[in-house]
């Protein structure tokens, strides 16, 4: 097994059947490790950017429950976690899946789970506490599950401001806190309504935010791939604005650009990536041709990128966490398919190569630098 050294790029690939780890010195030649957690679904795994060596994996066994496992030697040994997040007896709820793991700006570790809820760990995932201000909101009974289940799939800390955070819940919308999780506010103004026309009001429950990211330079600027389109939220603006110029829009029910993932560039302001699908009635790459779209101007215009990606008979789905950038310069971009291909770009998306094939359906991709950058 090849050694992993400081400065190497590590790519974590969560699949329906286990976790795979790829690493490279130059992002040209890759070595692999795994699979870990055989038979278990890994919806998300992440290299902690705070130390560049701790990897957390949300491991879901449909039989034996979900825990957050941890390694500090890139899979040489795993602490499987004795207990995962759990709801209170009074709630009547049971955690079934872990969808997201995110180190917070406050030094804690956060987990987003199904049924939708947020949990905080102060000891690196060994024990968990419910973020009650969100999990037991009075309007929880109005939260609707999407096709994937009622899940909290996005956790976005605010760099340098530990009490600020937002989360994405499908299919209830975006919620933000500025008091460390005690209270939360709906942030769904301007998002199209799925039926009946019009858009949601700020401060109200919304619809399905498939993925949300922060701008690399200004964390107050947000980009979102929603069930009903692609949006940008400017600093100080309570409304989301549709930013779909250049994206395919062949959705039959709502004229919006459908897809699941969105990723931000690690350094460049206004640069983000999406992978549009045909529509919510047919969640596959449009016309069997795979393409990643990139904006370099905050969504004013999107450019189709397909060099090296399959352009024929490519009928698969890219899930919400299966598109990420690394923190290299130029940025690497990674995208995984539900049919088990992992593509990567060393030139910010201009060209692509197959990094791995024949994996199980890819649930998530994360990339980072060993030892941090």
Partner 1 sequence: MVEGESTVRVELPTGLREYAGGRDSFEVHAGTLADAVRALNARFPGLAYRLLDDQGRMRRYVLVFVNEDPVAHLEPEAVRLKDGDTVHIVPSVAGG
Give contact residues for partner 1 (rule: CB under 8 A): 39, 61-65, 67, 80-84, 86-89, 91-96
- Minimum CB distance to partner 1, residue 115 (Å): 10
- Minimum CB distance to partner 1, residue 93 (Å): 6
Specify the residue, 86 or 249, whose C-beta has the smaller distance to partner 1: 86
- Host H or E run for residue 243: none
Question: What's the CA gap between 21 and 13, in Å, rounded?
Answer: 6
- Minimum CB distance to partner 1, residue 118 (Å): 15
**Token match 């709502």: residue?**
254
CA distances to 20, 209, 228, 255, 321 from 251, rounded to whole Å, are 34, 17, 9, 5, 22
Q: Is the dihedral of CA 194, 197, 199, 201 positive or negative?
A: negative
Q: Where are the alpha helices (DSSP H) in 35-166?
A: 132-135
Specify the residue, 89 or 358, whose C-beta has the smaller distance to partner 1: 89
- Minimum CB distance to partner 1, residue 65 (Å): 6
- Minimum CB distance to partner 1, residue 39 (Å): 8
Contact between 296 and 340 (Cβ < 8 Å): no
Specify the residue, 61 or 351, whose C-beta has the smaller distance to partner 1: 61
At residue 103, the 3 state secondary structure works out as strand
- Minimum CB distance to partner 1, residue 89 (Å): 6
Nearest CA-CA partner of 204 in 225, 192, 187: 187
- Minimum CB distance to partner 1, residue 195 (Å): 32
Specify the residue, 226 or 338, whose C-beta has the smaller distance to partner 1: 338
Specify the residue, 64 or 281, whose C-beta has the smaller distance to partner 1: 64
Specify the residue, 34 or 176, whose C-beta has the smaller distance to partner 1: 34
Nearest CA-CA partner of 60 in 78, 42, 46: 42
Specify the residue, 135 or 207, whose C-beta has the smaller distance to partner 1: 135
Question: What's the CA gap between 319 and 313, in Å, rounded?
Answer: 19
- Minimum CB distance to partner 1, residue 135 (Å): 12
Residues 157-188 as b or e (16 or more Cβ within 10 Å = b): bbeeeeebbbbbbbbbbbbbbeebbeebebbb
Specify the residue, 117 or 349, whose C-beta has the smaller distance to partner 1: 117
- Minimum CB distance to partner 1, residue 82 (Å): 3
Specify the residue, 92 or 198, whose C-beta has the smaller distance to partner 1: 92
- Host H or E run for residue 140: none
Q: How is 281-339 classified by DSSP, letter by letter?
A: TB-S-GGG---EEEESSTTS-EEEE-TTS--SS------TBSEEE-S-SSPPEEEE-TT
Nearest CA-CA partner of 96 in 120, 81, 117: 117
Phi, psi of 117 (to 5 degrees): -170, 160
Nearest CA-CA partner of 186 in 204, 171, 199, 210: 204
- Minimum CB distance to partner 1, residue 109 (Å): 18
Specify the residue, 115 or 279, whose C-beta has the smaller distance to partner 1: 115
């Amino acid at each position: 097994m090849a050694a992993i050294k400081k400065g190497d790029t590590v790519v974590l690939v969560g699949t329906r059947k286990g976790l795979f780890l790829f690493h490279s010195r130059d992002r040209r030649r890759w070595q692999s490790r795994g699979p870990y957690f055989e038979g278990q679904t890994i919806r998300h795994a992440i290299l902690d950017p705070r130390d560049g060596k701790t990897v957390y994996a949300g491991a879901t066994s449909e039989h034996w429950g979900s825990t957050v496992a941890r390694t500090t030697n890139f899979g040489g040994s795993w602490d499987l976690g004795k207990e995962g997040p759990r709801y209170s007896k009074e709630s009547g709820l049971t955690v079934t899946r872990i969808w997201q793991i995110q180190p917070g700006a406050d030094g804690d570790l956060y987990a987003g789970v199904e049924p939708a809820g947020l949990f905080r760990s102060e000891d690196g995932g060994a024990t968990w506490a419910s973020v009650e201000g969100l999990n037991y909101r009075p309007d929880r009974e109005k939260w609707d599950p999407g096709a994937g289940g009622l899940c909290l799939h996005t956790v976005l800390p605010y760099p340098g401001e530990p009490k600020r955070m937002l989360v994405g819940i499908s299919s209830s919308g975006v919620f933000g806190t500025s008091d460390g999780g005690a209270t939360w506010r709906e942030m769904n103004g301007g998002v199209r309504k799925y039926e009946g026309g019009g858009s949601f009001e700020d401060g109200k429950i919304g619809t399905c935010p498939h993925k949300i990211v922060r701008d690399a330079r200004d964390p107050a600027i947000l980009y979102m791939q929603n069930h009903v389109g692609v949006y940008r939220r400017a600093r100080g603006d309570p409304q989301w604005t549709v930013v779909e110029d250049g994206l395919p829009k062949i959705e039959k029910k709502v004229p919006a650009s459908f897809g699941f993932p969105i990723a931000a560039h690690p350094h460049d302001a206004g640069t983000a990536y999406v992978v549009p699908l045909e529509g919510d009635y047919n969640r596959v790459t449009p016309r069997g041709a795979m393409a990643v779209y990139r904006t370099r101007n905050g969504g004013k215009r999107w450019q189709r990128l397909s060099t090296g990606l399959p352009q024929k008979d490519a009928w698969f789905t890219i899930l919400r966490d299966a598109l990420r950038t690394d923190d290299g310069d130029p940025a690497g971009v990674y995208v995984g398919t539900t049919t088990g291909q992992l593509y990567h770009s060393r030139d910010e998306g201009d060209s692509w190569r197959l990094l791995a094939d024949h994996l199980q359906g890819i649930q998530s991709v994360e990339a980072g630098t060993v030892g941090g950058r």
